[in-house]
Structure 1
Amino acid sequence: MLPWSLGVIPRYPKQEVVKTREQTSRDCVVVGEVANSTPPTDACIPVDDLNKHTLVTGATGTGKTFTVATIVNRLTEGEYSVFFKPLILDWHGEYSSLLHDPEVKDPFHLPITLLSRDEEYYSVEFASQVLGLTPAQEYVLLKSLESLGGEENLNIADLVEILEGMADESAWFRESRLSLMRKLRRLTIGGYKELFSGGDLDLEVSSNKPLVIDLSKIGDLAIRRVYVAAFLKKIFDKALRGGFNSRRLLIVVEEARNLLGRDNYVEILVKMLDEIRKFGVGIVIVSQSPSALVEDVMANTSTKIVHSIKSAVDLEVLDKVVNMTSEIREILPYMDKGEAVLFSSFYKKPLLIRIV
């Protein structure tokens, strides 16, 4: 039985910092200090490792957002050997007050398209995953796309009109068509129509000034999820085509369970976790619970920053994927706000750190 299960709060251990390799200050982003270390030592993440994805997790109120903001601020204010453009998908509208001189955009001023004529089947597969379509609804959607003109980026409102006028091949076709219309029409009501009326993303990536997309402007959470998924797909597609001209992006995905949840993940986005790092895009995945995420997230994040976690299920998930000593496991439920355990290949063992 572990000490914390008996109500005994464990003492923080003295920590010896052993690195697996040497890094200069231009190669490492300082995120805080190693707690109880002799001599006092900064805790840092090699800037190259950001390209291999990062998980920031912990219970509500433990300091996850501040940790991510600290990484972004240090990254944009320092001079590093690798350039990253931070892009924050800000689910709750919190980052504009935490970042230093960010560019904040309203998603309604950054419209995208959910469906594209380019790689039509791939586009239908993506829409199916995001909207939860049945195979029959996928078939109807594909038929409706074939009826549209030559526009590369397809307007949802026009697609609904096409569906309204389509002849029904059978009873099941009619039922699927009407169900599909209901799902698509939700994306065209009121101002939401403008969210999905854009074309290619036009993002300024030549500077390292952080770009914040304030998703709190999208009141409907289901539509917010669709927008973020479509936005990420556009980013990934552009990166795969070399559209960022060798510039690296660091994308922060808050409330990641909405897209990468164990029970509701978007498969195409999960696959991208493994592929996109080769094209200069690193992702910071932020979530309250590691057990709520699809297993690929744990496998495909090189760096993990774990704030206080009390759930036995979450601790068990971490146990399976990281080198967590019994000492660290005992401490995790009792850490204060702003404290975390850093799991990184840069260090020989996990370190208890304070984000400063």
Structure 2
Amino acid sequence: MANKEQFIQHLAEGQVYKNDYIILGTGILDGSPVSGAQIKVPLKTLNRHGLIAGATGTGKTKTLQVIAEQLSLKGVPSVLMDLKGDLSGLAMPGEASDFIRKRSETIGVDYDPQGLPVELMTLSDEKGVRLRATVSEFGPVLISQILELNDTQRGVVALIFRYCDLHHMPLVDLKDFKRVLQFVIKEGKSEIEKEFGQVSSASVNTIMRKIIELEQQGADRFFGELSFDVDDFVRTKDGKGVISIIRLTDIQNKPKLFSTFMLSLLSEIYETFPEQGDAKQPKLCLFIDEAHLVFSNASKDLLEKIEAIVKLIRSKGVGVYFCTQTPTDVPDSVLGQLGLKVQHALRAFTAKDRKAITKTAENYPDSPFYSTSEVLTSMGIGEALITALNEKGIPTPLAHTLVRAPITRMDILTDGEIDQVVRASSLVPKYNQDLDHDSAFEILERKMNQIQEAQEKAKLPGPAPRTSSRTPKEESLLEELSKNTMVRQMGRTLFRELARGILGSFSSSKRR
């Protein structure tokens, strides 16, 4: 049996902090919690991202809740993407049962049940602050990656954005985007050809089908006005960080919408927030529950974009935390960027499960006190293996940890309580109104009506329909010429693309 004093000393060597920190629990040795072996994570390193993993029912969502609570108490706001609807209880105090008080005494922390400042948000028609963004803010690069377009189709999208910029036609929602696509190959075909060259109808039709596919996942409700200002995520109330809970229970089966929103949020935060440098605590932390939905359905381009953001966004004082079942759900390129790792129990029911456990164990530092693969399958609910970064950026010793209990409610809010939180919100009146300002759709409709009225007034017939007598070989040649035209056009619009920012979307200064 290992010596407790040696165990405490082993953990303490990596956890001597000059600045503030949060306490996640206490170390466990030989199956028993050890008093005086608190597991601490410095606030200074919480912008280095993290992972919360574990099998269903092992307590990873409650660990996420604990971290968000402790951040709020330290004045750090957070954003929680809640796909299961488990996190709304953060707004109400927990219950101080004898079991929870005894657990807190063992860990060496006070148990002070309290509700925390919470803002409920939604992408759909659920109760809460409506989150929206405009198509223009996404920009042609990000829109093309989300729609998974090829190079020729991306050229058409770049043309669309360029045309709308030149003619002052805002692309607000998907209705605007589709109307401009129709204009390009119908009413405005001759105008477009004079300015940009021929545009392939086949490419436009493919883009249109991709947009319809995105609409079927509910994106038509997401794109629009008023665009959400990410600075509204960074708020405090009575010295506590506001916890913004984005309720996503109705889009679990819409992974493209989920990844679209997540990527746009990270892009906007990166472009909007100033460089923070080496601060004593993060400016904001984002928690992405069920993170496998992001990675399992993302294209190669989207994965590369996520990886780039994770690498760069920490300099803005933002930490990103992925909550999923196994570390293998997260690409290695992203996993290698994560500083805090909280691993709850895994279950070995099959040979595949045992291989996954062996691979998972390799992601954690070796410990003289544990066999990591054995601990992974023997931990109880509310226990986890934890390693973090100390203030010098060095990984702390791996610790089998008894995680502290949440101070807020571990159950969800009632409908009446949700209504109460929504009524108290200062953001609901700001964002929960449907705006339909003049944009590309309305401008083009008026333009077409004016042309039609002028033709009728002058009694001029409309243009005769064109007939084609081209051979299939000639049609193929024209298609190839169209592709070359698009490539040249993408070069002509390169400066505009760079102006939209490294991540392919407008900065907040371009907002309407």
Question: Structure 2 residue aligned with 1:337, among 373, 381, 396?
Answer: 381
* 1:297 to partner: Cα distance: 2.1
* 1:316 to partner: Cα distance: 4.2
Alignment CA distance shift 1:161-1:31 (3 Å): same
3-state SS, counterpart of residue 212 of structure 1? strand
3-state SS, counterpart of residue 56 of structure 2? coil
Residues in 2 aligned to 1:104 and 1:70: alpha-carbon distance in whole angstroms: 18
Comparing 64-73 with 256-265, which one deviates more in the overlay?
256-265
3-state SS, counterpart of residue 224 of structure 2? coil
Comparing 129-138 with 58-67, which one deviates more in the overlay?
129-138
TM-score normalised by L of structure 1: 0.82
Question: Which residue in 1 is equivalent to 2:326?
Answer: 289
Whether 1:107 and 2:144 are equivalent positions in the alignment is: no
Question: Structure 2 residue aligned with 1:157, among 169, 175, 193?
Answer: 175
Question: Which residue in 2 is equivalent to 1:124?
Answer: 140
Question: Which residue in 2 is equivalent to 1:354?
Answer: 402
Question: Which residue in 1 is equivalent to 2:285?
Answer: 250
Residues in 1 aligned to 2:173 and 2:341: alpha-carbon distance in whole angstroms: 40
Residues in 2 aligned to 1:267 and 1:190: alpha-carbon distance in whole angstroms: 23
TM-score normalised by L of structure 2: 0.59
RMSD of equivalent CA atoms: 3.2
Residues in 2 aligned to 1:333 and 1:290: alpha-carbon distance in whole angstroms: 15
Question: Which residue in 2 is equivalent to 1:84?
Answer: 76
* 1:231 to partner: Cα distance: 2.3
* 1:249 to partner: Cα distance: 0.5
Whether 1:41 and 2:33 are equivalent positions in the alignment is: no
* 1:286 to partner: Cα distance: 1.0
C-alpha contact 1:111 1:194 (8 A) present in aligned 2: no
Alignment CA distance shift 1:206-1:171 (3 Å): closer
* 1:192 to partner: Cα distance: 4.3
Alignment CA distance shift 1:304-1:200 (3 Å): same
* 1:111 to partner: Cα distance: 3.2
Alignment CA distance shift 1:289-1:47 (3 Å): same
Residues in 2 aligned to 1:219 and 1:256: alpha-carbon distance in whole angstroms: 11
In terms of fraction of residues, the more helix-rich structure is 2
Listed as ranges, the matches of 1:53-202 within 5 Å are: 53-77=49-73, 79=74, 83-98=75-90, 100-101=115-116, 102-108=118-124, 109-113=129-133, 115-116=135-136, 123-148=139-164, 149-150=167-168, 154-167=172-185, 173-188=200-215, 192-198=219-225, 199-202=227-230
3-state SS, counterpart of residue 181 of structure 2? helix
C-alpha contact 2:56 2:325 (8 A) present in aligned 1: yes
Q: Which has the larger radius of gyration?
A: 2
Alignment CA distance shift 1:84-1:146 (3 Å): same
Residues in 1 aligned to 2:260 and 2:365: alpha-carbon distance in whole angstroms: 35
3-state SS, counterpart of residue 13 of structure 2? coil
Question: Which residue in 1 is equivalent to 2:504?
Answer: none
Question: Which residue in 2 is equivalent to 1:318?
Answer: 360
Comparing 263-272 with 188-197, which one deviates more in the overlay?
188-197
Alignment CA distance shift 1:285-1:114 (3 Å): farther
C-alpha contact 2:83 2:252 (8 A) present in aligned 1: no
Deviations 1:208-258 (A, max 9, x none): 12111112244651323322222222222212578xxx9700111112223
Alignment CA distance shift 1:13-1:331 (3 Å): farther
Alignment CA distance shift 1:151-1:33 (3 Å): farther
Residues in 1 aligned to 2:21 and 2:133: alpha-carbon distance in whole angstroms: 37
Identity %: 20
Alignment CA distance shift 1:348-1:204 (3 Å): closer
* 1:71 to partner: Cα distance: 0.8
Whether 1:30 and 2:23 are equivalent positions in the alignment is: yes
Alignment CA distance shift 1:262-1:35 (3 Å): farther
Residues in 1 aligned to 2:134 and 2:331: alpha-carbon distance in whole angstroms: 23
Deviations 1:16-55 (A, max 9, x none): 323324226x611111221235444222211112111111
Residue 134 of structure 1 aligns to which amino acid in structure 2? N
Residues in 1 aligned to 2:170 and 2:355: alpha-carbon distance in whole angstroms: 46
Question: Which residue in 1 is equivalent to 2:346?
Answer: 309
* 1:85 to partner: Cα distance: 1.2
Residues in 1 aligned to 2:252 and 2:399: alpha-carbon distance in whole angstroms: 39
Alignment CA distance shift 1:156-1:61 (3 Å): same
C-alpha contact 1:225 1:259 (8 A) present in aligned 2: yes
Question: Which residue in 1 is equivalent to 2:437?
Answer: none
Q: Give aligned pairs, total.
A: 334
Unaligned runs of at least 5 residues, structure 2: 92-114, 348-352, 405-512
* 1:158 to partner: Cα distance: 0.4
Unaligned runs of at least 5 residues, structure 1: 1-10
Whether 1:216 and 2:249 are equivalent positions in the alignment is: yes
C-alpha contact 1:290 1:314 (8 A) present in aligned 2: no
Alignment CA distance shift 1:21-1:334 (3 Å): closer
C-alpha contact 2:26 2:34 (8 A) present in aligned 1: no
Residues in 2 aligned to 1:179 and 1:163: alpha-carbon distance in whole angstroms: 11
* 1:150 to partner: Cα distance: 2.9
